[in-house]
Amino acid sequence: MNDLPILDVQGVSKYFGGLQANEDVSFHVNKGEIVSIIGPNGAGKSTLFSCVTGFHRLDKGRVLFKGQDISNWKPHSIGKLGVVRTFQIAQVISDMTVLENVMTGAFLRHTNVPDVRRKAEKVLTFTGLFEKRESNATALSISDKKRLEVSMALAMEPELLMLDESMAGLTVVELREMIELIRKVRESGITVVVVEHVMEAVMELSDRVVVLNSGRKIVEGPPKEVVANPEVIRAYLGERYNAVRQ
């Protein structure tokens, strides 16, 4: 059994010109966990994702995946290794159908087109988009687009899935469905890290929560503890955030 955390972020710092987006952020994720990263707007959550997945160069620190140093690796190599991320605004390929989008992801692990198609169909069944597989990707609703993005990621057979605000803009019902989907993903053996604003999802899903504020990690722990932490409350003071959009 693995003692090593599947993801180990050590002292990651990232500057943009004069702005310090991440400062000395350290935390780890164990295999099979669901960890949420929360914090007020501008806390550096998405930047952290980009640093971990190779979209930004680290100015300081390291990122280890299953003990292997992947700091500053190229994004496609990190993807091949088993770490896949999504984006705040769901990125899908617009001149393809839903199925073709997922197939593109599946091509990472298979080369034979029939195999790839079969794999894509399996994934779509898992995420509940099978019925819509022939629709053009741009014709989907926001919630379905997010599910498509997750499907594309799952087709790549990741060990670690990093979701960037997958709950934003969802209705109550859609939120429930997304929470269920993420649970299913974890149950299938994939470790999940989410950046989230929607506290209901955070409370329900997370084994642990990491809180960022102004680029630094301020608290880490089980959800109930973190939410009651006075420092966290202070960080959010004055911040109005929507837990759920009706």
The residues with which 208 forms a beta bridge, in sequence order, are: 35
Least distance between other proteins and beta carbon 230 (Å): 38
Interacting span for other proteins (CB under 8 A) from 59-67, 94-102, 126-134, 170-178 = 94-102
**Distance, CA of 146 to CA of 90 (rounded, Å):** 6
**Distance, CA of 89 to CA of 184 (rounded, Å):** 22
Helix, strand, coil share (%) of the chain residues, nearest 5: 40, 25, 35
Among 34, 35, 63, 116, binds other proteins (CB under 8 A): 116
Q: Which of residues 195 and 226 has its CB atom nearest to other proteins in the complex?
A: 195
| Residue 134 binds other proteins, judged by CB under 8 A | no
Interacting span for other proteins (CB under 8 A) from 33-41, 90-98, 172-180, 192-200 = 90-98
Least distance between other proteins and beta carbon 235 (Å): 30
| Residue 227 binds other proteins, judged by CB under 8 A | no
Footprint of other proteins on 58-87 (CB under 8 A):
74-77, 79-80, 84-87
Amino acid letter, residue 227: V
Least distance between other proteins and beta carbon 149 (Å): 9
Amino acid letter, residue 81: L
Size (the chain), residues: 246
Instruction: Look up residue 97 and give its DSSP letter.
Output: B
Amino acid letter, residue 183: R
> Are 38 and 243 contacting, i.e. CB atoms less than 8 angstroms apart?
no
Q: Which of residues 113 and 233 has its CB atom nearest to other proteins in the complex?
A: 113
Among 95, 134, 173, 237, binds other proteins (CB under 8 A): 95
Q: How far is CA 246 from CA 24, 166, 171, in A?
A: 37, 16, 6
| Residue 188 binds other proteins, judged by CB under 8 A | no
What values do phi and psi take at 243, rounded to 5? -75, -45
Name the residues that contact other proteins, by CB under 8 A.
53-55, 74-77, 79-80, 84-87, 91-96, 100, 103-105, 107-108, 111, 113, 116, 152-153, 156
